[in-house]
Structure 1
Amino acid sequence: MLSDKGTGMRDLCSVLGISPEDVIAIGDNYNDLPMLAEVGHPWIMKNSALDQAGFGQSHEFLRAESVEEILKKL
């Protein structure tokens, strides 16, 4: 069975009994896109491959310099 980070995120949320809409995910590369699509609060890192490709402007992703910056905004 093939899996990706989106499937893993869905399965983890199910096991933990939480809604994906309440989850934050942070990505920096294309393999993170399925995971980012599953959560309610997707973040990409500034200057990452996803940011350079324009995903920070063309999608509903928030951009941050660091995980610390994200946590301070919560």
Structure 2
Amino acid sequence: MFVGYAGVVSAAVLLADLILVLVWLGALGYLLWISPDQRRSLLMMAGMTVLASIACYALDTRVIRAMFSAAAA
């Protein structure tokens, strides 16, 4: 995707996103196991969180791209 310093920054952002997703999946699994009667609301919140995560990833990519294209100009 990116090379040089921009690649390092984007890799760090993606690694942080991956860690947050793994923690989130663990918490979701735990909550689904603890309270099976709340599954519908938990899964609705999970769906909204997935959409927000995708939006944050797209924003991270745009910010990194804009940051390094402005620095190169």
TM over 0.5: no
Greater strand share, 1 or 2? Answer: 1
* TM-score of the pair, normalised by structure 2: 0.30
Normalized per residue, the structure richer in helix is 2
Which has the higher Rg, Structure 1 or Structure 2?
2
TM-score by length of 1: 0.30
